[in-house]
Amino acid sequence: MIMDEKLKKLRSKGTLLKPKFIIGKNGLTGNVIVNIKNELKKTPLVKIKILGSFIEHKDKRSTIDDLIEKTDAKLVQFIGFTIVITRK
């Protein structure tokens, strides 16, 4: 129950954020992963927009799972092509 409240608060904060990163046709490069990890060290929430040109030929959910795994983060929410992540 406590986790639900915490997640609810994170989601409401996440809706107010502007995307810090936009992942385009180059995808999840090493540089993008490092930058997201560094941003997570500074701020508890990071909003990321994934362009349709990147997702076009891939499964959206598996792409998000891959991003979460590589950045060692936790998914707060994803709507459409926008995701919000937090530190584990």
In whole angstroms, how far apart are CA 36 and each of 18, 77, 88?
Answer: 14, 16, 14
Residue 88 in contact with residue 73, Cβ under 8 Å?
yes
Structure tokens at 53: 């040109």
Q: What's the number of domains the chain is made of?
A: 1
Give the CATH number, domain containing residue 55.
3.30.110.60
Higher pLDDT, 19 or 58: 19
Give the pLDDT of residue 58: 74
Element (H, E) at 22: strand 21-23
Give the pLDDT of residue 2: 60
User: Cβ atoms within 10 A of the Cβ of 85, count?
Assistant: 26
- In one letter, which amino acid is 45? L
Over residues 27-69, the pLDDT tens digits come to 889 999 999 999 999 999 999 999 988 877 678 888 899 999 9
* Domain extent for 39: 2-87
